[in-house]
Amino acid sequence: MANDNNKPLSDLCVKALKPDQTIKDAGENAGLNVSCNKSGVKTFFYRYRSPLGNKVKRVTIGIYGEMTLAQARVELTVLKAKRKSGICPRTELDKAANAEAERLSMLADEEVKNQFTVKEMAELYLSRIVEDHPAINDKGQVIRIGTEAKIITGTRKRLRNQREARRTLEAITKDTTLGKLPASDVNHEDVIRIIEALIIKGTNVQAGRALSELGLAYTHTIGTAFPIIGKPSKDWIVHLSGRTVNPCLQAKAHFVGKNVKFTAQRRKRVFDDHELRLFLDWLPTSKFSQISKHALMITLICGVRSGEAVGAIKKDFDLDAATWALTDTKTGADQTVQLSTQAINYLRPLLENRENETPYLLPSQRTKKPQWQKQLSEQSWKMRKEGNMLNIPEWTAHDLRRTMRTGLAKLRIPSEVAEMCIGHGKGGIEAVYNLHEYTYEIKDAMQKWGDHIDIIAGRVDNFSSIKKKA
């Protein structure tokens, strides 16, 4: 989106900028651009033709909100002056960044070899706080019950939450400059730079998780002597003294002051019947892995979350009773999923697969454990990049669950029943006084949805065709 009539920009224009749009300044400030990413972050940048090689270059000036339009124009004037004098601002910035990276790398590799690093702190926090771990007595011995080690449950009771915490911290500490720095020397500015880099990428939710997990790692490590196997308690080490300041606290205050939101924009994407028909025809021969194909179909026909589909456990299914007992849900509340005839027909071959000797419905052939739910998104991204995605507006796995819920409304299922079909419990005063479980109503609603899918697909055996075509 260009600025109308090439008029100079105003704060009103910048504030009105929508996601995925870019506007340009005009007149003496020509070259100044403002873009808005999907999470709503607006970035000033200078686009120019370099005096070195005559190639088009781009330099990020700052983020709107942290920098005003007037300040961005001042920075633009400085950059233009450099370009006019034969200096390429982009090349200059790259050289400075490389020099700083080299300096930090030398600091991490040479000066702090024997110091407690951020990476080590993160690993200690994950292995001794977040994840399940063996109990150790004051003598440094593993406490045993019989022949088995006594296990202390981690602060994240669900395995998937433990894995997510590890993935989040390893992303910012494993083989990175931050990970090599002494934990005691990191300040709030270092943390802010790491988090702002994630925000600029548009991954606000991941940025929030990274800030939270890093802050918790500091909180649990400061002033704490962690048990060491083989060493008595008098030899246990306090890696960070009680006087250490948690740099994440000031970093959080910085983002609160800037009103930065660590939340994803609420999606409203649902499939219409035409798109759903295209999806059902395309999925069996798509480039998704076999596990992902099954997970997407189970999400659609059962209305569960895609993470619940990939992590399904075989013993939780009772096809005779037409139920699926979900005990590891996002909300923590148990849910009994009523299975339609279509869902039973789809699940039965998976449950009766004799080659699958694991407890899981959809195990990875390599690890024998459920795949990461995030792999659905990663596979979708790769398919879009390579031009192998279904030619409809961009969608996610969770949009299938939203499509199912919207479909129930179209089928005139009462709202309280439709909400319980997808595991949303009663709210407010109704949860206190209405204790009816709606079992038969939910079963009827799920069957109507299964029948509707059959109609959309145009053939009853569409679900089983995934196995035939894959």
CATH code of the domain in which 453 resides: 1.10.443.10
Q: Can you give the CATH number for the domain in which 94 is found?
A: 3.30.160.390
**Domain of 180?**
112-257
pLDDT at 5 over 60: no
Residue 34 resides in a domain = yes
Q: pLDDT category, 467, cuts 50, 70, 90?
A: very low
Q: pLDDT category, 335, cuts 50, 70, 90?
A: confident
Whole-number Å distance between alpha carbons of 470 and 220: 48
Residue 331 resides in a domain = yes
Tracing tokens 């619940």 back to the chain, one arrives at 308
Residue 157 resides in a domain = yes
pTM: 0.52
pLDDT at 106 over 80: no
pLDDT at residue 349, rounded to an integer: 95
Q: Is 315 in the same domain as 360?
A: yes
228, 257, 286 - which closes a domain: 257
Q: In total, how many domains does the chain have? A: 3
pLDDT at residue 109, rounded to an integer: 47
Q: Is 238 in the same domain as 123?
A: yes
Q: Can you give the CATH number for the domain in which 119 is found?
A: 1.10.150
Q: Is 137 in the same domain as 82?
A: no
Whole-number Å distance between alpha carbons of 322 and 217: 44
Residue 268 resides in a domain = no
Q: Is 36 in the same domain as 127?
A: no
The DSSP code for 301 is: H
50, 80, 102 - which closes a domain: 102
Residue 26 resides in a domain = yes
pLDDT in tens, 435-451: 888 899 999 999 999 99
Q: Is 153 in the same domain as 118?
A: yes
Q: Is 230 in the same domain as 339?
A: no
pLDDT at residue 437, rounded to an integer: 85
Q: pLDDT category, 429, cuts 50, 70, 90?
A: confident
pLDDT at residue 462, rounded to an integer: 45
Q: What is the mean pLDDT of residues 101-128?
A: 74
Whole-number Å distance between alpha carbons of 232 and 288: 52
Q: Is 87 in the same domain as 151?
A: no
pLDDT in tens, 364-373: 888 888 887 7
Is there a contact between 168 and 210 (Cβ–Cβ < 8 Å)?
yes
In terms of residues, how long is the chain?
A: 470
Q: pLDDT category, 105, cuts 50, 70, 90?
A: low
The DSSP code for 9 is: P
Q: Is 426 in the same domain as 301?
A: yes
Q: Is 327 in the same domain as 433?
A: yes
Residue 75 resides in a domain = yes
pLDDT at residue 119, rounded to an integer: 93
pLDDT at residue 332, rounded to an integer: 64
Residue 381 resides in a domain = yes
pLDDT at residue 159, rounded to an integer: 82
CA torsion through residues 418, 421, 425, 431, sign: positive
Residue 263 resides in a domain = no
Q: Which residue has the higher pLDDT, 96 or 462?
A: 96
Phi, psi of 249, rounded to the nearest 5 degrees: -65, -45
Q: What is the mean pLDDT of residues 450-455?
A: 94
pLDDT at 53 over 90: no
pLDDT in tens, 169-205: 999 998 788 898 999 999 999 999 999 988 887 778 8
- Quick one: how far is CA 47 from the chain centroid? 31
Tracing tokens 């600091």 back to the chain, one arrives at 107
pLDDT at residue 114, rounded to an integer: 55
Q: Is 178 in the same domain as 198?
A: yes
pLDDT in tens, 375-406: 888 899 889 889 999 999 889 899 999 999 99
Whole-number Å distance between alpha carbons of 61 and 73: 9
pLDDT at 208 over 60: yes
Mean pLDDT of all residues belonging to the chain: 87
Is there a contact between 233 and 138 (Cβ–Cβ < 8 Å)?
yes
pLDDT in tens, 276-334: 999 999 999 999 999 999 999 999 999 999 999 999 999 999 999 999 998 876 666 78
Q: Is 219 in the same domain as 304?
A: no
75, 102, 129 - which closes a domain: 102
Tracing tokens 């009816």 back to the chain, one arrives at 436
Q: Which residues face 35 on adjacent strands?
A: 22, 43
Q: Is 178 in the same domain as 290?
A: no
Of all residues in the chain, the percent with pLDDT exceeding 70 is 92
Whole-number Å distance between alpha carbons of 189 and 437: 52
Q: What is the mean pLDDT of residues 440-465?
A: 82
Q: pLDDT category, 146, cuts 50, 70, 90?
A: confident
